[in-house]
């Protein structure tokens, strides 16, 4: 009864569910940053890798929360609670997850007046979100949001999925093929976790998957491409990874000839892995024709949607014709996003 009265009071003063979940008001966002950062504790259910996919209860919550504001986010796994609080107070993190128990939370809140906590975010561990004090509107909005979520089937599903049964993958491991990713990534100067992220994007670590166009295996290499770069058979997972690495190395050499800054080259290599080097050349030439830098990926991204329009793709700068580039743009973003999760969760 007290909780219902609390919610009713919030509604009267303007903190409606419609305002918070549907209105996307910027005053409800924790910071004005381009990216929200959440520092999560090391409770396994909160954030982990399962069969190559970053997952976890707190990751699901943050995806849902930030979706309303179309805000990118990053999760950092930080075991020490004092370090998490320091990150919050110095602005490195926007939200801190605390799952150490109610007694420990009460002790923490009594000792500090510069932070405040939400209502529990889950039924089992009573995890809370902690933010800086002084923003009552925000903490009330978070409380109302989670209280509404608790009445949904989605909330019940997440409780079962993450807390009521074993769902965890092997800690510290991304896939059964990590040893080969580690071995061959050195040939291209990549972090092995980046190579794993690319492989997951291509095949979800299924070594026998074949695409409609004939690309095969963990790295989705075309047999004729493998032959061209010197790999006779790509049926065995190790050979498939080796072929994918040789293709990446070839793409790196092609792009090193251009005036692309080193920090930008990776994004162009990934886009070429997905769409082909010829398409990337078209994208860069077209970007130049539109007054954008052909050497900066974020500049090239801006013009790619135009390449599916006749008034543009029939022009002199797009030699290979119409290009629906949304898949390639999504490919690059998702590989890099997954790589960031892998870095946060799996030791190098």
Task: Quickly tell me which residue has 């809370």 as its tokens.
Answer: 128
Count, residues in the chain: 348
Structure tokens at 199: 């492989």
The dihedral formed by the CA atoms of 307, 308, 313 and 319, expressed in degrees to the nearest 10: 70
Q: Phi, psi at residue 55, to the nearest 5°? A: -150, -170
Closest by CA to 126, choosing from 107, 104, 156, 148, is: 104
Task: Quickly tell me which residue has 């190559």 as its tokens.
Answer: 52
DSSP output for 236-276:
SHHHHHHHHHHHHHHHHHHHHTTT--HHHHHHHHHHHHHH-
Active site residue 258: no
Distance separating alpha carbons of residues 176 and 170, to the nearest angstrom: 10
Catalytic residue (one of 202, 258, 264, 327):
202
Residues 6+ apart with CB under 8 A from 10: 140, 144
DSSP output for 183-226:
HHHGGGT--HHHHHHHHHHHHTT-TT-B-TT--BTTTTB-HHHH
**Residue 210, strand partner residues:** 216
Active-site residue set: 202
């Amino acid at each position: 009864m007290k909780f219902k009265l609390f919610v009713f009071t919030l509604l009267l003063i303007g903190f409606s569910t419609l305002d918070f979940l549907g209105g996307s008001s910027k005053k409800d966002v924790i910071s004005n940053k381009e990216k929200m950062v959440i520092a999560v504790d090391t409770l396994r259910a909160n954030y982990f890798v399962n069969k190559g996919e970053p997952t976890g209860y707190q990751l699901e919550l943050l995806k849902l929360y930030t979706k309303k504001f179309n805000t990118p986010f990053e999760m950092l796994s930080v075991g020490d609670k004092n370090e998490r609080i320091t990150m919050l107070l110095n602005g490195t993190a926007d939200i801190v997850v605390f799952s150490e128990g109610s007694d420990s939370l009460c002790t923490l809140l009594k000792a500090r007046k510069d932070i405040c906590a939400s209502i529990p975010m889950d039924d089992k561990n009573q995890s809370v979100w902690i933010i800086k004090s002084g923003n009552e509107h925000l903490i009330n909005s978070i409380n109302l949001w989670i209280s509404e979520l608790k009445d949904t089937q989605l909330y019940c599903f997440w409780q079962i999925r993450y807390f009521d049964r074993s769902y965890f993958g092997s800690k510290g491991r991304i896939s059964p093929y990590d040893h080969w990713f580690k071995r061959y990534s050195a040939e291209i100067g990549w972090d092995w976790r980046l190579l794993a992220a690319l492989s997951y994007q291509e095949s979800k670590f299924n070594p026998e998957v074949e695409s409609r166009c004939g690309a095969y295996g963990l790295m989705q290499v075309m047999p004729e491409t493998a032959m061209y770069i010197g790999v006779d058979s790509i049926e065995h997972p190790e050979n498939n990874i080796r072929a994918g690495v040789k293709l990446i190395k070839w793409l790196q050499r092609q792009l090193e000839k251009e005036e692309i800054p080193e920090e930008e080259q990776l994004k162009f290599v990934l886009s070429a892995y997905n769409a082909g080097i010829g398409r990337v050349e078209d994208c860069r030439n077209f970007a130049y024709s539109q007054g954008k830098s052909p050497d900066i990926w974020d500049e090239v991204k801006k013009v790619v949607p135009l390449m599916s329009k006749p008034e543009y793709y029939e022009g002199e700068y797009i030699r290979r014709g119409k290009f629906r580039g949304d898949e390639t743009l999504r490919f690059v973003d998702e590989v890099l996003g997954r790589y960031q999760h892998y870095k946060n969760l799996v030791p190098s």
